[in-house]
Amino acid sequence: MFFIIDKLFLILAFTVAIIIHEFAHGWTAEKLGDPTAREAGRVTFNPIAHIDPIGTIAAPAFLLIINFPILFGWAKPVPINSYNLNNPKKDMVYVSLAGPAANLFTATCAAGLLRLGGILPSEILSLSNNIVITNPFILFLIYLILINLFLGVFNLIPVHPLDGSRILEAFLPRETAWRYKKIAPYGIIIIFMLFYFTALADFILAIVGFIINLYSIH
């Protein structure tokens, strides 16, 4: 029974994380002059509007089945028309950073709630030692912290379709950026190869652990 509850809270935290992430992209773009996301119905907290069959359903389900240490994925990219932005090149960086920043903010709020409850966020790292958390609210906050931090860092990887690719493009010379965009169709394959053949997951988890420890500083 606990196994089912555990997975439900994990999925709920993941859903909250991707909704906040995508909402932040659309909201920021709108504030900077581009109403495309609003017109497409993407500036919303309705999860149905953000679901991507592969990134939101298939990939997370596969990771749950193989019992991967952390759940991650992505939603449908928010439609952005950079030509509508006040300053297209600079504002695209802000729009791209908005998603990871929103994840970091959410994780920070959840960590603050843990501390109000007398629990140092660094104590959640004890999950790796198979310590069972029975309080459902504490369990949800823990997953909210872990998943938001993981998604925030994960999305900064400079590979399409992740936010890091748009940020990198803004700093590349025009010709180089054009060549870089040509590998976009292979982005998903590249991401899975990076996870499979490199220590990328461990690197991201190390950053997540570092941030969690910062939350616990008195």
| Active site residue ranges | 22
162/180 Cα distance (integer angstroms):
13
**Angle at CA 166, nearest 5°, toward 162 and 109?**
60
Contacts of 95 (CB under 8 A, 6+ apart): 25, 28, 29, 32, 34, 80, 85, 166
- Report the b/e string of 119-144 with b at 16+ CB within 10 A: bbbbebbeeeeeeebeeeebbbbbbb
2/22 Cα distance (integer angstroms):
30
Chain-centroid distance of CA 201 in Å reads 14
